[in-house]
Amino acid sequence: MGSSSLFHDRLNTCVERLAESGVAALGGLFDLTSQRLVRYAIAITTNQHDAEDAVQAALVQVAKSPRRLATCQRPWPYLLCMVRNEALQIARRKKRWTLLANLTDLLTRRSVDEIELEESYRAVWMALRALPTAQAEVVVLKMWEDMTFAEIAEVLGVSPFTAASRYRYAMEKLKRTLQPLAEELAHV
Residue 79, amino acid: L
Quick check: 124 binds another protein (CB under 8 A)?
yes
DSSP-derived secondary structure letter, 74: S
Among 44, 48, 76, 137, binds another protein (CB under 8 A): 48
Could you give the count of Cα atoms lying within 13 Å of 148 in the half-sphere of its Cβ? 4
Query: Using CB under 8 A as the criterion, what x/- string covers residues 66-105 for binding another protein?
Result: ----------------------------------------
Quick check: 110 binds another protein (CB under 8 A)?
yes
Distance CA 107, CA 47 (A): 10
How far out from the chain centre does Cα 39 lie? 4
Distance CA 88, CA 69 (A): 21
Quick check: 108 binds another protein (CB under 8 A)?
yes
Spatial contact of 78 and 12, defined as CB atoms under 8 Å apart: no
The residue ranges that bind another protein (CB under 8 A) are 22-23, 26-27, 30-31, 34-35, 38-39, 42, 48, 52, 55-56, 59-60, 62-64, 106-110, 117-118, 120-122, 124-125, 139, 142-144, 148-151, 153, 160-161, 163-165, 167-168, 171-172, 174-175, 178-179, 181-183, 185-186
